[in-house]
Amino acid sequence: MASFASSNKPFFFLIDFEMEKPQLYSPEEAFDLGFKFEINGVSNFTRKKVSQQTTPFSIIPVSKNRYAKAFKKVYNEIHNGNSFLLNLTFPSRIESGVSLENLFHLAHDSYKLLQKDNLLIYSPECFIKIKGDWIYTFPMKGTFSGDLTEVKKKLKTDVKELYEHNTIVDLMRNDLSRFAKNVQVSRFRYLKKIKTQKKEFYQTLSNTQSQIRKIGM
């Protein structure tokens, strides 16, 4: 990774959730290995027109008993002050008659990744961006539906959404301060429209920026 960065060459870096199988390639190597990606308009593939038909899914969730045990543990940890905000999630089996590649081309998200017949990821959120000596994050927390006037009113009055968004912004600021200086929130709580096949809604974002410290500083 350092050799790519020092020579100012783009690279493709993928790490799994367990952080056991990191992968690092040039964009050309990634394509040869079956990876296709689009990152805010930058892509390494030729777009394919896919019919905008309804895509049926069959979702097989975890058992109610397994979820209840995990929920109880999360509740106790929050109650004991060991966490302020936590998303309780599980892997769920999803079955569909539509191929991963067609789902990839149907997705409207600004950030998406496909590994042929193996992996599909898409997200509306840019987690991190590095440009020169500056690092930027775009914490996204808070979902609203309805017309824009109604959503703006909720944005100002929903205390729960405000606290959750403040928590994630503070987390980003704290993490950045470990290796960066001049940490600041350049834009706080604004709305971004998200479009899916079924509906449109709004997400709340903020922007942070900071300057990467040089080694020894």
- Residue 120 is classified by DSSP as E
pLDDT at residue 215 tops 70: no
pLDDT at residue 184 tops 80: yes
pLDDT band at residue 186 using 50, 70 and 90 as cut-offs: very high
CA distance 83 to 4: 37
The mean predicted confidence, pLDDT, of the chain is: 86
CA distance 208 to 190: 13
Q: Average pLDDT for residues 132-152, to the nearest whole number?
A: 86
pLDDT at residue 6 tops 90: no
CA distance 164 to 178: 22
208 Cβ partners below 8 Å, 6+ apart? 136, 137, 138, 139, 169, 172, 173, 176, 183, 184, 185, 186
Give the H or E element holding residue 173: helix 159-177
Q: What is the pLDDT of residues 61-108, one digit of tens each?
A: 999 999 999 999 999 999 999 987 888 999 888 888 888 888 888 888
- Residue 62 is classified by DSSP as P
| pLDDT recorded at residue 194 | 82
Q: In this predicted model, which residue has the larger pLDDT, 148 or 35?
A: 35
pLDDT band at residue 216 using 50, 70 and 90 as cut-offs: low
Domain map (residue ranges) of the chain = 2-53+96-123, 58-92, 128-212
| 215, two tokens | 């080694």
Q: In this predicted model, which residue has the larger pLDDT, 73 or 122?
A: 73
| pLDDT recorded at residue 54 | 62
Q: What is the pLDDT of residues 14-71, one digit of tens each?
A: 888 788 888 898 888 888 888 998 888 888 888 888 776 666 678 899 999 999 999 9
